[in-house]
Structures are given as C-alpha cells and as structure tokens.
C-alpha cells in the first residue's frame, strides 16, 4: 500500500520526523510512505507529486497551514487530483472544534476562525481523525498518529548527571505550566543542581508576534528564571532532543493547556520516556494514566501546596525506585504505541 502525506517538507520538525519514522517502518511491512513534495536530492524523505498513485492521501493539518515560509500549504492540488474516498484528515492540533479557551490558551481566536477551519476540513474529507481518545465532535475518530520507538531508549543511569532538571521544548502557551514546576523547585533550589531550559522564546516573543497573541502564547518571566539561576539555550536539532533530555535527572513533560484539556498527544510525550531521565508530568492524571499505564501516576507533579517540592526531592534521592517505573512505562509504550502498531492501525483505517 502506498500512503502519501500532505505536510510541510521540513527535515527537522516533530511531525515531519513522525512521517519519516512511518516511512522506515513501512518498508519492513511491505508498504510505502511518501511525502507530497517535489523530488528532492539528499532529502531523508521519499518525495513525490504523483498523487494518483497513492492508495490514500493523508492530510496532516496543524494550526500553521497558512504560516510556513510565508506561503500556505498546498491543499488544493492533492484534493483536486484525488477521489474523496481516498482522502483522510488528521487534525493534529484540535482545530476541528468550536472555539475552545483554557486559561489564556485557545484553539481559535473567534467563531469565524473555527467555522472556516471546520469547513476546510469538511471540504477535504469525510474522514477526520484527532490524536486523542476523547474527540469532542461526533464525526471525529481517534488516531494517535505519533508513536514510540524502543530503539530510542537510552540506558537509565543516574550516576553522573550534569543537570538536576532539563526541559526541552519551546515556549508556546507553556509558561503557566513551567511556572508551576519552578514554584515547586524554588523552596529547594539549592538542592536541585543545575537547571536548563532548551527551546525558543523563553527570553522574549519572536519578532513580528502581535498583541494579544504575543502576550498569550509567549508569556515568560526572564527575571524569575534568572532569580532561580535557570540556564537557557536555543532549540536543538531533532536528533539531539533525547540526548539533551538525558543530561538531567528529571524532565518536566508539559503541554499547552488546550492540548492537556483535549488530551492530544504530541511527539514529546513519546520521546521523554526513552531518554535517560525521569519524566515529571505536568498533566492531568487521567491523561497520563491512559497513555502510560497505572504506575506513571506516581510521576504526575503534585499541585501547589500538595507536596510538589518533596516529590521532586524524592526523585532526586531515589532515582533507582523511579527507574523501575520508567522501565514499566517503556514496556507499555513499546507494546501499545510503537510505530509498527501505529502503522498497522493506519493501514486498517485506509482499508475501511
């Protein structure tokens, strides 16, 4: 079976990396995964514009379909050249919903934006999937899309760590979640060791970001980070994400509030357990349990005033105990959420 993904042709981004991982698994299973793009020498991707040869055309759609390299994603071309029954939409960011606001985060700025997205996705396909077990709209089905690769796993060894805490991820509606972690760290700061945040926009918003989006999406407090002696560095290439996380005893796992509310999965949820670190989940307990299993609940960060600081100290003092929890999580993810499992699910969706 030949599966074609319509997505940005970028070599170094999370969702593009997921497509690349599908392409590698597909070879072993006797299938082919291609990216809708002109043939490109030296690209990791198998690129093609031959839409007609695909058994299914999968539109991986995120919030930024109009905002990459100042040109929109080409949707009209593959839609015009593909029968409707062979088209599938994966709504990776929960945009196929009414306006949803969680704190300062939102999926659409207004009802008109929501209506336009819903009409666009309906124009593309009757079959719309979201990476959550809890779609809000009755015509949406579940497909996690992102997955776990046991080959990523780094041996768990806490004998010589450079950092107490590392976080790898850009600031995109994540300051409030990061602030909760740092508020738990503050009373025990001298016992943590070095702390590092790796990613974009923890110092200031990007150039061109306008109000009120600027204040909502990129809120940060560099003075507070300085007070806690939190080191910052720019984002690293995708192949350095797991090695960078592995430098810390623990890594917070944070999502923007809308993703947490909708229980959407993203690549980082599967990458962090593979690193040589202890994940500390700043997510709803039910969300953590349904992805990682029951033992992962011990790694959900306690709320303010509920012993979060003591919980972090316990991670630092008993890494051996938490190592066994991480091993259990890895086994669970390898069984339930591997790329092989996920591709087989996608094949069944296409056959339906």
Instruction: List, for residues 271-297, the tens digit of each pLDDT value.
Output: 999 999 999 999 999 999 999 999 999
pTM metric for this prediction: 0.94
Q: What is the mean pLDDT of residues 178-207?
A: 95
Q: What is the mean pLDDT of residues 37-65?
A: 93
d(CA 299, CA 277): 12
- Residue range 109-151, pLDDT digits in tens: 899 999 999 999 999 999 999 999 999 999 999 999 999 999 9
- Residue range 228-258, pLDDT digits in tens: 999 999 999 999 999 999 999 999 999 999 9
Nearest Cα to Cα of residue 3 among 24, 32, 30: 32
Q: Strand order in 32-36's β-sheet?
A: 47-48, 32-36, 2-6, 56-61, 87-91, 128-130, 140-142
Domains, the chain, in order of start with CATH, read 2-147+337-351 (3.40.50.2000), 150-336 (3.40.50.2000)
pLDDT on residue 89: 98
d(CA 39, CA 335): 35
pLDDT on residue 100: 96
Reported as a pLDDT band with limits 50, 70 and 90, residue 68 is low
Query: What does residue 168 show for φ and ψ, rounded to 5 degrees?
Result: -115, 115
Q: Does the pLDDT of residue 13 top 90, yes or no?
A: no
d(CA 279, CA 212): 32
d(CA 190, CA 2): 55
Reduced to 3 states (helix: H, G, I; strand: E, B; else coil), residue 244 is helix
Q: What is the mean pLDDT of residues 47-59?
A: 97
């Amino acid at each position: 079976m030949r599966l074609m993904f319509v997505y940005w042709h970028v070599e170094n981004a999370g969702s593009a990396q997921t497509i690349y991982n599908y392409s590698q698994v597909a070879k072993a299973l006797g299938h082919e995964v291609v990216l809708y793009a002109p043939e490109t020498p030296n690209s990791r991707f198998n690129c093609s514009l031959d839409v007609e040869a695909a058994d299914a055309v999968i539109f991986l759609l995120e919030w930024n379909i109009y905002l990459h390299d100042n040109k929109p994603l080409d949707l009209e071309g593959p839609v015009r050249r593909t029968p409707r029954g062979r088209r599938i939409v994966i709504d990776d960011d929960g945009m196929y919903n009414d306006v949803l606001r969680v704190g300062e985060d939102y999926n659409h700025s207004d009802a008109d934006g929501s209506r336009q997205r819903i009409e666009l996705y309906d124009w593309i396909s009757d079959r719309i999937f979201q990476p959550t077990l809890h779609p809000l709209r009755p015509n949406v089905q579940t497909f996690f899309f992102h997955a776990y690769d046991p080959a990523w796993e780094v041996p768990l060894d806490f004998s010589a760590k450079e950092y107490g805490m590392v976080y790898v991820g850009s600031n995109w509606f994540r300051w409030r979640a990061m602030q909760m972690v740092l508020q738990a760290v503050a009373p025990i700061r001298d016992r943590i060791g070095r702390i590092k945040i790796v990613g974009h926009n923890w110092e200031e918003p990007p150039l061109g970001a306008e109000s009120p989006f600027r204040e909502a999406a990129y809120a940060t407090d560099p003075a507070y980070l300085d007070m806690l002696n939190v080191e910052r560095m720019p984002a690293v290439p995708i192949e350095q994400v797991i090695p960078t996380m592995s430098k810390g005893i623990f890594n917070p796992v944070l999502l923007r509030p809308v993703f947490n509310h909708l229980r959407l999965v993203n690549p980082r949820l599967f990458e962090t357990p593979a690193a040589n670190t202890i994940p500390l989940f700043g997510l709803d307990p039910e969300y953590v349990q349904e992805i990682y299993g029951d033992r992962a609940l011990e790694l959900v960060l306690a709320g303010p005033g509920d012993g979060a600081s003591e919980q972090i100290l316990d991670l630092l003092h008993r890494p051996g105990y938490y190592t066994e929890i991480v091993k259990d999580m890895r086994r669970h993810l390898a069984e339930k959420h591997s790329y092989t499992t996920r591709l087989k699910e996608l094949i069944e969706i296409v056959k339906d």
